[in-house]
Structure 1
């Protein structure tokens, strides 16, 4: 079993004085490879590693640049092994090695298959070159399933092979015609010609395209087999990541790998699309369709290391051939974008997109690609390019930060990139944004995300904020019964609300609209913290001016002129009266806003959506349709799914009434019901240990929590219910926690009050581990202690209670397990 498909072990020489391994590598020309000086061979069953002595054809512990041919052969020399050794492993490096070869068999007589060697291998139907059966040493692949052998017999030159799977049995007959042709079938009279050297010219033309109605909720079945898989390999799971554009979330599904290398994942999905698969040594996209089965073979020791069978075999085979078409280079973009104007950046991206299309056409001339593969690949090019174009400002700011070594948590920066003008967005046509076929690519998910938060759809400068009176008016519309204090507040607010007041506000906003917008843009990042500190208070221009001075922010002449005008406006008799009354009820205003926070958030989101929909139509000319429905669905589904807060039937109908696409409207209801079911299921699981935060003296909050786990290695995860990467990380290590349930390791989860209590209570029952929900002050102390600038944030604590690593990086499960066990065994 080799974990690197581009590396072939061609020969092993076991000599009296040394052991030599001969390799041949295919890799991208110009990229480098390296042989670590801790590379080793190890007899299977032995703890002793024999480290590399020398190499021929490649240096040791140095970067080796691949030649133009993209191929290199070399040999590695190791110490002598005992002649009794039957199998060895090879590892590229000791701690932190990246790839391995397991069970290199030195004595051929160790294993004898019941099949004759002449029948072994993968067989392709002669009439269409499609892979339909593989007959390996110990298993067969047939009808998208892995089978074991029952018996083998031959009569009159025809072999009868009994296949078994669970309680099922099936007979397959085979008659070898030549070294490369074999007749195979389920009866001697129905055998068809197969070849182990597929003739690509026999692949039939396929002009069927996907229709526009791609949405369908059904179960996806993804199966596969890793040939020569070793049960000793540390990682026994993989993941499928589905970018669900309707929900606005990347949904992950676990793959468990059996001892024989077979695996299967079944999960519901709502449309055909490319999904990301991460297996122990495969990282790539697979095209899956609801209601259909896809089988994938990984055979790193074969000329065909990846093969597909099942309903989606043809499109996956073609897309796999096209997987490396990507002219865009992220590092090159980061190096050049600071010199690009918006139009120059657009021209550069469009040129790279055109190169991809030319490469696709080239492949189409060399190989009979299916129409659907070309269709999906073209959509991928288009939406990937659109996502890049919408990311111009973000990428330029990020590149500037990198060049000037400005950390992301430093909000205020002295850099304002040029904004694209309206002509820049001419690629955002109505048909492009609302094309239902777009969802078949993962890129559409990212395109919608960039479009939702693009500069062109941000606030157009009009006031979308909510005053206390706005909230009062909206609450009255719902029939809400005000308390006595709230009624007093409402009357005071309504007293100062008049046509004169509204006209005065409108006049000032219109006159100073550009200055106000410029001031916000100049100081938005700096004032975020200021607004948080003064939440619920009336913020005056004098207060803002003083705070900016404290932060050593130098105001421009335009900033100063705007603040002078704002001060004068506040001194108008009517405005002064409003501010005086607001001061009189200041405390009740804060209480009122706190008591109705959920209502206010919903109301603000509604106004934000209205502004976005107005902008997308008036600025871009994109009419209500799939794109706006998906944006709206994401707004609604995010709290339902991610925060596990289902809505009432009445609220659900209100949401659905705003959706034009019937499938999306029904899908929101499906997600709402699924969340309700998951909450009930979680209540039954109860694998989480919910802890009260122990009493502590100020800064010793962390030490107080850790006392409970003395003697254990502790993996601490600082997270929040609303944080997508946090939840993804928790899901990723779920199988690892199951593997390590009997080890001396504790998994501790710490969140703060930003995780709503209801969401927290619904979510954590299914998260095994020890849980704490700390106060804001306690969270601030922890954030300061571990310099937490973003979540998820991981920390490792030793058995003695001392912090081993305050900033633990993201690790693969196998790496994390090895690290945890290292400290467990110390």
Structure 2
């Protein structure tokens, strides 16, 4: 009896102990949130109470969804039951302290469970009281150090002596390697991405940075010149400077990623980086400089409230402050010459970009608010005299990420956007042997009264686009359409010649040369030559081989830099190979009435992981032409175009020849707005990919920005990897005719 009593007491004591078990600040293995901290876990037979102590930016908000869960170490998943201190799916505004605790209530956990994961955010949370967290080594593992050393030894070339070197332009690759301390595959990302581009030719070629399970990462970066840019891991930008034929190693710390996550409005780039290799010193010097982030919210307000001249005066004051900040930094630190030049040029370009941006959007805002007197103040030509303070022959400008914005704003600045007037020549008009009315009478074809009314209205109707013409023509009856085709085939087509390709002239550049000299008061310079090469691809798109090469032979007389000439030559030969002076693809297109911009040469996708991901997506659509839309709910133009195409999608629903396919990145299209938008727009064939997979598709189809449209034929090969979706109606029939 006594023994039985002791056993009962022990059982009760154990029960009470379990019911009251509290773990303060439980240890965990890894987390992917700098905001969410688990401060306490209360375990009982009735429930599991998890205290979430949130540290975030004061006055910012967060929320907790009803689908929160915990995963036990026996793979059992428990969904949340209730919440204390907030409501599900409602905004929680952070107090001035930036800290707030919420309690989430889950079902009870079996006593044998030792670890749990919280909502794919915090992993390996210990339920053992007094458990000691394994110390994260501040040292790089020996085998990682050895790997880095071996990779650096593979590169025998020395870095550039200086940024004015004749070797500055060099089409080659740079190699990026490194290690993330504290990385764990459970963090949910296996890649980073670098949005690489060629500023001379406008070509994009984003590069996936692969992360190994142990935290090592590597990538080969195609370059045309030194580049001070950035890559992105888990939405966090990592700045670095790299040169062609050089290898740069860096060591990152996952704890800093978490800090960036928490302080996202004030801490934009990782600073705690260890650089290794010949370029380490330059990178350290660049990384240590504390440049203040530009406030674009205040900037947007100024566009509507102050004049261009007033803004220019304010911006000049800020520019001088930034230069003073740099002067102090250079005085207090021993800085490499490359870093000095890049930091100064970066400040100069940012200043110029702010001035360009201020006036570039004024027309848009003026249409939105036509009564605003500030937006009616003209931009005088002398506003642009800041360009005279820049050394536009300095090739090192191209090493900076800010140059891409600068050259784009320069080439589309209002004063320089002048075009030659179209030639007005008297052309003889072909008159068919019989009119369409005579043909109808001869063939005894009866058309409807509606057809007659439409035909009459067409005489005085002005169309804004080819798409509008096609929409108008759809209103005619099938009898009328068939008669019109037959009439054209018999009385029109045999007697007219195929239109000649557009001839490209130098007149546009003669006008712009004058603007550069007389309005901007600039001599011809390297940046202006870059602008001419950047326009080359567009200028020759609608011509043929003979005209394209004739135009290039004239244009290159204005290009003095040998590398720019080489790039221009490559762009012309890319579209129109020099080995033939007969544009067969153009002739084929015209003969079959396929617009030249509808198609490119078919391309087989290269073997590799990216193609495997893509082929897995399109496998279920085999046997159809696919119009693929890379988009996101957070992309305004993407959303607008999908809305505009809604009726068009309905019109072609269940078409046997082609389908629309929509692909997005889960990080760019949050689930709730994504589901709502997909339902509202009645989207089918939708794919919301993990960011890693989406990064590979960016690399495969070479696009940095979205929306991006790709057309795939029935065999899974590329028809066009940059399709003009705004011309869908106009180009569709030609594509179906050629690729069906």
Q: What's the TM-score bracket when you normalise by the shorter of the two chains?
A: 0.5 to 0.7
Look up the SS of the partner of 2:254 in the other structure.
coil
Q: 1:211 aligns with which of 164, 189, 193?
A: 164
Partner residue of 1:205? Answer: none
Query: How big is the shift at 1:427?
Result: 0.7
Q: 1:48 aligns with which of 74, 77, 81?
A: 77
Contact 1:42/1:89 (CA < 8 Å) preserved in 2?
yes
Are 1:140 and 2:144 an aligned pair? yes
Partner residue of 2:394? Answer: 435
CA-atom RMSD in angstroms: 5.7
Partner residue of 1:495? Answer: none
Contact 2:191/2:211 (CA < 8 Å) preserved in 1?
yes
Are 1:89 and 2:95 an aligned pair? no
Q: 1:715 aligns with which of 658, 662, 677?
A: 662
Equivalent-residue separation in structure 1 for 2:395 and 2:162 (angstroms): 14
Q: 2:652 aligns with which of 702, 725, 731?
A: 702
Partner residue of 1:466? Answer: 423
Contact 1:35/1:61 (CA < 8 Å) preserved in 2?
yes
Are 1:226 and 2:180 an aligned pair? yes
Alpha-carbon distance change, 233 to 22 in structure 1, aligned in 2, over 3 angstroms: closer
Partner residue of 1:293? Answer: 247
**Structure 2: 5+ residue runs without aligned partners?**
1-28, 154-160, 260-270, 432-460, 470-491, 578-599, 608-614, 628-646, 665-689, 701-707, 735-740
Partner residue of 2:566? Answer: 666
Contact 1:237/1:256 (CA < 8 Å) preserved in 2?
yes
Contact 1:247/1:633 (CA < 8 Å) preserved in 2?
yes
Are 1:346 and 2:304 an aligned pair? no
Query: How big is the shift at 1:389?
Result: 1.1
Contact 2:241/2:282 (CA < 8 Å) preserved in 1?
yes
Look up the SS of the partner of 1:89 in the other structure.
strand
Equivalent-residue separation in structure 2 for 1:667 and 1:738 (angstroms): 22
Contact 1:55/1:74 (CA < 8 Å) preserved in 2?
no
Cα shift readout 1:357-397 (whole Å, capped 9, x = no counterpart): 34445656776655533432332221122122122333223
Alignment of 1:135-534 (within 5 A): 135=141, 140-142=144-146, 144=148, 210-211=163-164, 213=166, 214-232=168-186, 234-301=188-255, 306-322=273-289, 325-326=292-293, 328-361=294-327, 370-400=336-366, 417-429=376-388, 431-459=390-418, 463-468=420-425, 532=465
Cα shift readout 1:714-771 (whole Å, capped 9, x = no counterpart): 5379xxxxxxxxxxx99984736999xxxxxxx99569xxxxx9xx9999259699x9
Query: How big is the shift at 1:774?
Result: 5.9
Equivalent-residue separation in structure 2 for 1:630 and 1:332 (angstroms): 32
Q: Matched residue pairs, number?
A: 544
Q: 2:535 aligns with which of 635, 642, 650?
A: 635
Query: How big is the shift at 1:616?
Result: 0.7
Contact 2:73/2:115 (CA < 8 Å) preserved in 1?
yes
Q: 2:517 aligns with which of 603, 617, 625?
A: 617
Alpha-carbon distance change, 11 to 313 in structure 1, aligned in 2, over 3 angstroms: farther
Q: TM-score, normalised by structure 2?
A: 0.58
Partner residue of 1:595? Answer: 499
Equivalent-residue separation in structure 1 for 2:70 and 2:691 (angstroms): 35
Query: How big is the shift at 1:343?
Result: 0.2
Alpha-carbon distance change, 228 to 250 in structure 1, aligned in 2, over 3 angstroms: same
Q: TM-score, normalised by structure 1?
A: 0.53
Partner residue of 1:735? Answer: 696
Equivalent-residue separation in structure 2 for 1:364 and 1:356 (angstroms): 12
Look up the SS of the partner of 2:116 in the other structure.
strand
Alpha-carbon distance change, 18 to 314 in structure 1, aligned in 2, over 3 angstroms: farther
Contact 1:14/1:81 (CA < 8 Å) preserved in 2?
no
Equivalent-residue separation in structure 2 for 1:671 and 1:630 (angstroms): 13
Equivalent-residue separation in structure 2 for 1:633 and 1:347 (angstroms): 33
Which 10-residue stretch deviates more, 35-44 or 387-396? 35-44
Alpha-carbon distance change, 300 to 666 in structure 1, aligned in 2, over 3 angstroms: same
Cα shift readout 1:83-126 (whole Å, capped 9, x = no counterpart): 4334433348xxxxxxx3344466799999xxxx89x7345xxx
Equivalent-residue separation in structure 2 for 1:15 and 1:648 (angstroms): 76
Alpha-carbon distance change, 59 to 691 in structure 1, aligned in 2, over 3 angstroms: closer
Alpha-carbon distance change, 661 to 750 in structure 1, aligned in 2, over 3 angstroms: closer
Higher relative contact order (CA 8 A, sep 6+): 2
Equivalent-residue separation in structure 1 for 2:130 and 2:544 (angstroms): 58
Query: How big is the shift at 1:231?
Result: 3.4
Alpha-carbon distance change, 11 to 468 in structure 1, aligned in 2, over 3 angstroms: same
Equivalent-residue separation in structure 2 for 1:247 and 1:641 (angstroms): 14
Equivalent-residue separation in structure 1 for 2:188 and 2:543 (angstroms): 33
Query: How big is the shift at 1:339?
Result: 1.6
Cα shift readout 1:400-439 (whole Å, capped 9, x = no counterpart): 55668x9xxxxxx999633321321121117533321211
Equivalent-residue separation in structure 2 for 1:264 and 1:643 (angstroms): 42
Cα shift readout 1:680-721 (whole Å, capped 9, x = no counterpart): 993475979784699xx9996521427877xxx95379xxxx
Alpha-carbon distance change, 54 to 339 in structure 1, aligned in 2, over 3 angstroms: same
Equivalent-residue separation in structure 1 for 2:405 and 2:110 (angstroms): 56
Equivalent-residue separation in structure 1 for 2:530 and 2:174 (angstroms): 22
Which structure dedicates a bigger proportion of its chain to strand?
Answer: 1
Query: How big is the shift at 1:241?
Result: 0.8
Look up the SS of the partner of 2:421 in the other structure.
coil
Contact 2:63/2:91 (CA < 8 Å) preserved in 1?
yes
Query: How big is the shift at 1:269?
Result: 0.6
**Structure 1: 5+ residue runs without aligned partners?**
93-99, 124-133, 148-164, 169-207, 407-412, 473-484, 489-527, 537-586, 718-728, 740-746, 752-756, 781-826
Query: How big is the shift at 1:18?
Result: 3.9
Look up the SS of the partner of 1:287 in the other structure.
strand
Equivalent-residue separation in structure 2 for 1:87 and 1:219 (angstroms): 45
Are 1:101 and 2:1 an aligned pair? no
Alpha-carbon distance change, 364 to 748 in structure 1, aligned in 2, over 3 angstroms: closer
Alignment of 1:2-81 (within 5 A): 4=32, 6-7=34-35, 9=37, 13=41, 15-16=43-44, 18=48, 20=50, 25=55, 39-43=68-72, 46=75, 48-51=77-80, 61-65=90-94, 67=96, 72=99, 78-79=105-106, 81=109
Alpha-carbon distance change, 218 to 76 in structure 1, aligned in 2, over 3 angstroms: farther
Query: How big is the shift at 1:353?
Result: 2.7
Which 10-residue stretch deviates more, 680-689 or 332-341? 680-689
Query: How big is the shift at 1:660?
Result: 0.9
Look up the SS of the partner of 1:433 in the other structure.
coil
Look up the SS of the partner of 1:467 in the other structure.
coil
Contact 1:239/1:279 (CA < 8 Å) preserved in 2?
yes
Query: How big is the shift at 1:217?
Result: 2.1
Contact 2:48/2:105 (CA < 8 Å) preserved in 1?
yes
Equivalent-residue separation in structure 2 for 1:121 and 1:644 (angstroms): 63
Alpha-carbon distance change, 24 to 342 in structure 1, aligned in 2, over 3 angstroms: same
Equivalent-residue separation in structure 1 for 2:544 and 2:275 (angstroms): 37
Alpha-carbon distance change, 233 to 429 in structure 1, aligned in 2, over 3 angstroms: same
Look up the SS of the partner of 2:193 in the other structure.
strand
Equivalent-residue separation in structure 1 for 2:183 and 2:530 (angstroms): 42
